[in-house]
Amino acid sequence: MAAAPMLMSPPMIAFVSRTLALVALAASPFLSHAAPRAFEDTMAQRTQACTACHGEQGRAGPDGYYPRLAGKPAGYLYKQLLNFKEGRRHYAPMKALLAPLSDSYLLEIAQHFAQLEVPYPAPQPTSAPAAVLERGKQLIFRGDPAQKTPACVQCHGQKLTGAAPDVPGLLGLPRDYLIAQLGGWQTGQRVAHGPDCMGGIAKKLSSSDVAAVTQWLAAQAVPTDSRPQATLPTNASRAQCGTAPAPQAVETLPAPTADTTLVAKGAYLARVGNCQGCHTAASGGVYAGGRAIETPFGAVYSSNLTPDTVTGLGRWTTTDFWKAMHEGRSKDGRLLNPAFPYTSFSSITRADSDALLAYLQSLPPVQQRNRSHDLRWPFGTQVALWAWRTMYFNPATQKAQGNQSAEWKRGAYLVQGLGHCAACHSPRTALGGLTDESSLSGGTMPGGGWFAPSLHPTAAGGMSPLAQENLIALLQTGVSPGRVTSGPMSEVVMGSTQYLSTSDLKAVVLYLSRLPADAPAKRSQVSTAPETRTFLEGGKLYENNCAQCHGAQGEGVAGAYPALNGTVAINRDNTANLIQAVLHGGYSPATQGNPRPFGMPPYQLLFNDREVASVLTYVRQSWGNGGSTVSELEVYQARERFTR
């Protein structure tokens, strides 16, 4: 008998994957030393964030961990993209890549890879004993009635090439990948909508059965006609697999008669505040809460805002809701954690608060109990919250705003209130208080280590009309000349600012344009002909990996890839966002004005800390840029923050 396989944990898989990826670096087609291909406005170009790991045309990565995408059923690929995005499959780089993309764009990506017909690799040789292979073949074609394990061909087709619309093939996959996926099903790292048939089947397999099945599958050649089977015989049990259960009916109060105008106003205000972004967990009901909000003191879990009468806002009055928004107090009088940004919401009007509640109480109710916060003692106690509020919070009062225009006042109201821009874009004290609520001078965000830059104009003369126009475009679409949004700001654009009216966006930008100008940044003294080892290594890495999209001189591609020469983001003293971008890649948000964004590959498994530092140093000191050197320690610290 062959030795039973060890089912690796996700951290071990990631470590092995990184090691193998680095060994295979020189052989990777994406990282070849060939001249960069010309830019093409195609889905192949847009999905380079996928093929960097999954291989050219989605043929599969070189390390046996990233599977083939080409030719798999579109329905299957689409479901897996949703599963990663919504938390049913767990792999942080995939989740980060997919977070800013719409479901319709995910479907288009799935359809792109599904229609590709490219050769499969040769089968893997096996030294498994005949008895092991025979056991694997039995499980695949006949199953095991004794342990109630169905045959694989029952769902995956007689040729094991899958079946339309959503069943994948099992041939042409490395044995390591097959083992990892079965291990994921067994441990719950991979799940599907219930009934989760594959999870139940995998849990019945012993280690020796996993070895037998994977040895046999990996050793088989893919048939000439490798297309998924068009249909499968009708099977009642299969038809139920992977379908989401219908939500259970819950007892609720009769829906109040709401003024449709008031509800529509509240819906718009909810967009302004991006309420859904925090109050919807990846795999939970819309507005039903449960999303973890990371703070320096632990995780705070958002609450249920649906009108369920037991777990949500079904029994809240307008006065109850106003106290939460204006005073930071719950219906029962408890002090709320300031991760709910009532320090900003306190400044909204009572009329807007009432409209917001009217909208929330018009939503379908979801019965989902609120989760207790996971905060270190004593930060979650009422005494600690009282002490914090005495230092950092007073309910807002209307302030005189001089002779400012109505447009400026509207912009100030949106930025300082429901927009709660200061929550991210202002520095905080060691206790998490804002040093100056209106400063908007930039701050490091907890959790992933992103830096929210200053929103003040950078020139003494303020923000030019062209700069204002470009900022409006950035907030509407996620892209503007030379700039793209990434990280947490992508969520803001996707869930909030793209839906703001043009007049409100103009008001916001007008207000920001009249903030006091930041002091000019100090430019580093950079040699005109740097010859450091770091710089030279970074230049070669840039040439082989970045120039195809960002240009040989960092000029970028309009509407697709941002320029790297002379931009504020590249020359900013704080390098956190640049490091995050190289490590984790990503897409700009799929918005109404830019529904099919281009992606950047994640390099966290391909570049070590020194290489990330080298390529960023090269970019920051080339083409007229005057940024400082990026250190290996900075990259190490950023990587550690992400993995904790």
CA nearest 534: which of 624, 622, 638? 622
Residue 471 has pLDDT above 80, yes or no: yes
CA nearest 450: which of 300, 295, 613, 638? 638
How many other CB atoms are there within 10 angstroms of residue 402's CB atom?
7
> Which of the listed ranges 58-72, 378-392, 447-461 does the model predict with the highest average pLDDT?
378-392
Instruction: Give the whole-angstrom CA distance, residue 624 versus residue 628.
Output: 13
Weakest mean pLDDT among 327-341, 418-432, 437-451, 575-589: 437-451
Weakest mean pLDDT among 18-27, 275-284, 305-314: 18-27
Instruction: Give the whole-angstrom CA distance, residue 167 versus residue 171.
Output: 13
Angle among Cα 83, 89, 90 to the nearest 5 degrees reads 135
Beta bridge partners of 289: 280
Instruction: Give the whole-angstrom CA distance, residue 434 versus residue 167.
Output: 51
Q: What stretch of H or E contains 480?
A: strand 479-480
State the maximum Cα–Cα separation within the chain, in Å, rounded to a whole number. 88
pLDDT of residue 530: 53
In single-letter form, the type of residue at position 57 comes to Q
Q: Average pLDDT in the 636-642 region?
A: 83
Domain presence at residue 332: yes
Q: Give alpha helix (H) positions in 347-428.
A: 350-360, 382-392, 406-416, 422-425
Phi-psi category of residue 113: left, alpha or beta, with phi > 0 → left and psi -120 to 50 → alpha: alpha
165-166-167-170 Cα dihedral, nearest 10 degrees:
100
Residue 375 phi, psi (nearest 5): -110, 145
Same domain, 555 and 611: yes
Instruction: Give the whole-angstrom CA distance, residue 98 versus residue 88.
Output: 13
CA nearest 567: which of 517, 623, 514? 623
Instruction: Give the whole-angstrom CA distance, residue 392 versus residue 386.
Output: 10
Instruction: Give the whole-angstrom CA distance, residue 472 versus residue 320.
Output: 36
- Mention every residue, 6+ apart, whose C-beta is less than 8 A from residue 635: 579, 583, 609, 610, 612, 613
Same domain, 541 and 506: no
In single-letter form, the type of residue at position 612 comes to V
The structure tokens listed for 215 are: 């040895």
Residue 480 phi, psi (nearest 5): -155, 170
Domain boundary among 392, 422, 457: 392
Q: Average pLDDT in the 452-464 region?
A: 81
Instruction: Give the whole-angstrom CA distance, residue 70 versus residue 47.
Output: 12
Say if CB 526 and CB 426 are below 8 A apart. Answer: no
How far, in whole angstroms, is CA 453 from its chain's centroid? 20
Domain boundary among 513, 545, 567: 513
Same domain, 482 and 385: no
pLDDT of residue 216: 95
Count of structural domains, the chain: 3
Same domain, 538 and 627: yes
CA distances to 230, 290, 362, 634 from 95, rounded to whole Å, are 30, 17, 31, 24
Domain presence at residue 123: no
Residue 583 has pLDDT above 80, yes or no: yes
How far, in whole angstroms, is CA 479 from its chain's centroid? 17
The position carrying tokens 């056991």 is 135
The position carrying tokens 């300031």 is 338
- Is residue 295 helix, strand or coil? strand
Phi-psi category of residue 144: left, alpha or beta, with phi > 0 → left and psi -120 to 50 → alpha: beta
Domain presence at residue 86: no
Same domain, 378 and 276: yes
Sign of the CA dihedral with 46 first, then 47, 52, and 55 last:
negative
Same domain, 279 and 329: yes
pLDDT-derived band at 35 (thresholds 50, 70, 90) equals: low
Same domain, 307 and 331: yes
Domain presence at residue 199: no
Say if CB 213 and CB 153 are below 8 A apart. Answer: no
Sign of the CA dihedral with 278 first, then 279, 280, and 284 last:
positive
pLDDT of residue 465: 86
Same domain, 350 and 443: no
Say if CB 338 and CB 328 are below 8 A apart. Answer: yes
Domain presence at residue 441: yes
Domain presence at residue 340: yes
Domain presence at residue 28: no
Residue 523 has pLDDT above 70, yes or no: no
Instruction: Give the whole-angstrom CA distance, residue 591 versus residue 596.
Output: 8
Same domain, 355 and 414: no
Same domain, 410 and 386: no
The position carrying tokens 């093929």 is 51
End-to-end CA distance of the chain: 40
Q: Average pLDDT in the 611-638 region?
A: 94
Instruction: Give the whole-angstrom CA distance, residue 97 versus residue 328.
Output: 34
Q: Average pLDDT in the 615-640 region?
A: 93
Instruction: Give the whole-angstrom CA distance, residue 25 versus residue 14.
Output: 16
Domain presence at residue 637: yes
Q: Is-cis flag, bond preceding 93, omega within 30?
A: no
| Domain region containing 416 | 406-513
Same domain, 550 and 606: yes
Angle among Cα 92, 538, 67 to the nearest 5 degrees reads 35
pLDDT-derived band at 230 (thresholds 50, 70, 90) equals: confident
Instruction: Give the whole-angstrom CA distance, residue 172 versus residue 55.
Output: 14
Domain boundary among 340, 357, 392: 392
- pTM for the model: 0.82
CA nearest 68: which of 221, 173, 159? 173
The CB-side HSE value for 438 (13 A sphere, CA atoms) comes to: 13
Give the pLDDT confidence of 136-187 residue by residue, as tens digits: 999 999 999 998 999 999 999 999 998 888 899 999 988 998 999 999 889 9
Instruction: Give the whole-angstrom CA distance, residue 433 versus residue 389.
Output: 9
Instruction: Give the whole-angstrom CA distance, residue 81 versus residue 94.
Output: 8
Q: Residue length, the chain? A: 644
Could you tell me how many helices (H) and strands (E) the chain has, helices first? 29, 9
Residue 383 has pLDDT above 70, yes or no: yes
Same domain, 275 and 383: yes
Residue 27 CB-density burial (10 A; 0-12 exposed, 13-18 middle, 19+ buried): exposed
- For residue 604, give the CATH number of its domain: 1.10.760.10
Average pLDDT over the chain, rounded to an integer: 85
Instruction: Give the whole-angstrom CA distance, residue 444 versus residue 190.
Output: 33
> Which of the listed ranges 396-410, 421-435, 459-473, 611-625 does the model predict with the highest average pLDDT?
611-625
